[in-house]
A and B are shown apart, each in its own frame.
Chain A
Amino acid sequence: DTGVSQNPRHKITKRGQNVTFRCDPISEHNRLYWYRQTLGQGPEFLTYFQNEAQLEKSRLLSDRFSAERPKGSFSTLEIQRTEQGDSAMYLCASSLTRNEQFFGPGTRLTVL
């Protein structure tokens, strides 16, 4: 069991730049979630994929954020024109059922 992997683990960028993160879920998991976590807070739901279809997207999510899961396997999360407020840990989770999720280690984004 290789678990959920995320790359890169850390990303430092300058304000205004675009960044892209990758998540590789557990191979047989058809459900994939993205979350954002800031210091002192719990994970905040961003978006959900079932296979390649993006079925849910947080209403709070800026249109600078976009996510894809082109073949129902790995997923990417892109942030365009980054802002300092985007600095956070970005978490990916996958699951086979509607219940237990398996989380990756996260990508820590710092926007200077």
Chain B
Amino acid sequence: AQSVAQPEDQVNVAEGNPLTVKCTYSVSGNPYLFWYVQYPNRGLQFLLKYITGDNLVKGSYGFEAEFNKSQTSFHLKKPSALVSDSALYFCAVRDWTGNQFYFGTGTSLTVIP
């Protein structure tokens, strides 16, 4: 069975500081991992994915994520947070077919000016 966990419901960070949103995964087989962002009254938007290859994955809006197999983690990072990054972030994993996706419970990020 595939699942992801987001241990923090809320993350606060000052504007300009680096941010990290945590995600751990549990999969049978190879992990296929994703990050999505949800702004108020808008649909989820894809940020980045890890399928294979480099452990550091770069995505949209300056976000990146680090895949760590030994720690079964896939943390989302950004070197310098913007107030406009304030949103709800979801980690997700899919099964090997791509037919089912499993999302975490989400982390609300607030960037403080």
Tell me the number of A-to-B contacts counted with CB atoms below 8 Å: 59
Number of chain B residues whose Cβ lies closer than 8 Å to a Cβ of chain A: 24
Q: Which residues of A contact B (CB under 8 A)?
A: 4, 31, 33, 35, 40-45, 48, 50, 55-56, 58, 91, 93, 97-106
Tell whether, in the assembled complex, residue B99 and residue A48 are in contact, meaning their CB atoms are under 8 Å apart: yes
Contact A33 B101 (CB under 8 A): yes
Cα–Cα, bound, A67→B46 (Å):
25
Within 8 A of A (CB), among B11-59: 32, 34, 36, 41-46, 49, 51
Contact between A41 and B97, CB atoms less than 8 A apart: no
CB distance from B49 to the nearest CB of A (A): 5
Q: In the complex the two chains form, what is the Cα distance from A101 to B51 in whole Å?
A: 14
Looking across the interface, which residue of chain B has its beta carbon closest to that of A95? B98
Q: 12 more A-B contacts (CB under 8 A) besides A99-B49, A103-B43? A: A42-B105, A43-B101, A44-B103, A48-B100, A50-B99, A56-B99, A56-B100, A58-B100, A91-B44, A98-B94, A104-B43, A106-B43
